[in-house]
A and B are shown apart, each in its own frame.
Chain A
Amino acid sequence: MTDLSKLTIADARDALRKGDFTAAELTEQYLGAIEAADALNAFSTNTPEIARAQAKAADERLAKGDTPDMCGIPLGIKDLFCTKGVQTQAASHILDGFKPEYESTITSQLFDAGAVMLGKLNMDEFAMGSSNETSFYGPVTSPWRRGNHDAALTPGGSSGGSAAAVSADLCLGATGTDTGGSIRQPAAFTGIVGVKPTYGRCSRWGVVAFASSLDQAGPMVKTVRDSAIMLEAMAGHDAKDSTSANLAVPNFEAALTGNIKGKKIGIPKEYRLEGMPAEIEALWAEGADKLRDAGAEIVDISLPHTKYALPAYYVIAPAEASSNLSRYDGVKYGHRAKLNAGEGVTEMYQRTRAEGFGEEVQRRVMIGAYVLSAGFYDAYYIRAQKVRTLIKQDFEKVFAEGIDQILTPATPSAAFGLGEMKDADPIKMYLNDVFTVTVNLAGLPGVSVPTGLDASGLPLGLQLIGQPWNEADMLNTAYALEQASGFAAKPQQWW
């Protein structure tokens, strides 16, 4: 019998169609794996009843020959996605007990295609974090370890539960969201593939908002092929999200030919950071060599405003967050603080938010309130929005000059230890996003592909940045990079 835990989405799809095993059998395998993996804290809510019912329905469809790609595929869903009747808290205390009365567009599309939800996945609170340590549910522990050392490592963040679950074979794929790198950084830290699509490719409706002009959902999976399959199921126009693009969704999987002859791949000199580990430098150079060997042309390019992306992001994202998170006031849902005699509605708002939001969320909401406040709006917010224009123009210029994709490291280091950054300046943590955040500011698609291990055996990834709406070509280059890299490392099971 096939080892069901080692499958990819593509393998499972083909085997389900052939009848090698049933969706019910596949689902039981993953429900069992999740139960045995409590030590990772990857799942915040398990939904075995829903999973079994969906698997049964998928088997009935399969029996009738109605077999969309995702039919019967067991998935984990990031806690940021509203799932009808199922606890959805964005890993925050302030949404205690929230059970949405509606289903996000993306999860609706996945379930309509026959996908199975195993449960909700842990994450940084409101997707604000790079290590999963801001979660009200407690941090996720990466399935990866440094050699034989048993120190607990971060799976990255904010989609840390998604990354850990896919990497530890607790599901075949997971939804993630990416505002500054929250899909690509955890994917790189755990040796999996993560795609942040073009802004507007996937509907944001029913996804708890962090920074609306930057947020974009995408797949986190084991292979580039799986990312193509799952992205196609997640993408598409949605009238309920006014920024969702009314464009046809291509068959992304069909684009994976592996032929990248004549493609121009840009290497931006500004991404060569001072003090960058030699291993990351080497990984990047090897990645470029592999693409060159596959027939691509490697071109040195310049994206001159790169340095300003992170400070611009840390104005814009908190500004949007402070506005979006104003809805958490103890009135409509979630936590409400207890009041003392004589206290009124203002105390209720203030105490509810003080008790309900964690430290990092409070910090960002306050920074946002500050940069939007009278007298500082032009100096910070408008200035950052102008810098954002310049960052976008940097990309437009190189694409207009014929660059097809841009190759960069995904992260400035391998995964770090849980607690290691506890006393560090928050800015240090923000630096995790240094290679990924430009892509969100410019609204572009990006993919993180695992291509190597560091000296202690931890995964490292490279990022490809594509032209807007051309995820298909970007994924094909990612596919060529994946084939040439032959990354096959898996974490040793210790949990």
Chain B
Amino acid sequence: MSIDIKTARKVAHLARIEVAEDALPPLADALSNILAFMEQLNEVDIEGVEPMSSVTPMALKRRKDEVTDGGYQAQILANAPDTREGFFAVPKVVE
């Protein structure tokens, strides 16, 4: 599978990374190259094999659905580039 410029543009958008038009062809080449390397996986017989979704065979612990921690508004906002009145501030989303 090779990636064309249109797909490269789409992937950049999915990843929310701004890529200039003239940078798309080399990006498409680089991504294609890596995908070609992954194509080796097609040689493997995976019939009846379960995908590995957990590294160690253990069930995740459950606990009561209740608040156990919190109240850190100031600490959470401390590193933000822009805050207003106790909130993260971003450019206008809706006109």
Chain A residues engaging chain B, CB cutoff 8 angstroms: 97-102, 198-200, 213, 239, 242-243, 245, 305, 307-308, 310-312, 314-315, 322, 326, 329-336, 339, 343-351, 353-354, 357, 362-363, 365-371, 373, 380, 382-390, 392, 425-427, 430, 443, 468
Contacts and interface: CB of A to CB of B under 8 A. Distances in A.
A334 B79 CA distance: 7
A351 B38 CA distance: 29
A385 B72 contact: no
Nearest to B37: A427
Interface of B: 3, 7, 11-19, 27, 30-31, 33-35, 37-44, 46, 49-56, 58, 60-61, 72, 75-76, 78-82, 88, 90-93
Name the residue among B31, B44, B54, B92 with the largest chain A CB count within 10 angstroms.
B44
Nearest to B92: A344
B15 A245 contact: no
A314 B37 contact: yes
Contact of A353 (B16, B51, B56): B16
Given A332-B80, A344-B93, A389 B34 contact: no
Given A344-B92, A389-B51, A307 B19 contact: no
B41 A383 contact: yes
B82 to A, nearest CB: 7
A15 to B, nearest CB: 39
Q: Which 4 A-B pairs have the closest CB atoms?
A: A385-B51, A443-B55, A333-B79, A101-B75
A365 B17 contact: yes
B68 to A, nearest CB: 10
A387 B17 contact: no
Contacts of A329: 16
A73 to B, nearest CB: 29
A102 to B, nearest CB: 8
A363 B91 contact: no
Contacts of A370: 3, 7, 11, 14, 31, 35
Given A308-B40, A380-B38, A387-B44, 4 more contacts: A332-B80, A345-B91, A350-B17, A390-B49
A135 to B, nearest CB: 19
6 contacts: A102-B75, A308-B44, A334-B81, A348-B90, A367-B34, A426-B34
B85 to A, nearest CB: 16
A349 B92 CA distance: 13
Given A312-B41, A315-B38, A332 B79 contact: yes
Nearest to A337: B18
Given A311-B38, A331-B88, A363-B31, A385 B52 contact: yes
A371 B35 CA distance: 9
B46 A354 contact: no
A182 to B, nearest CB: 17
Contacts of A346: 16
Contact of A200 (B13, B55, B78, B93): B55
B56 A369 contact: no
B17 to A, nearest CB: 5
A305 B44 contact: yes
A448 B59 CA distance: 31
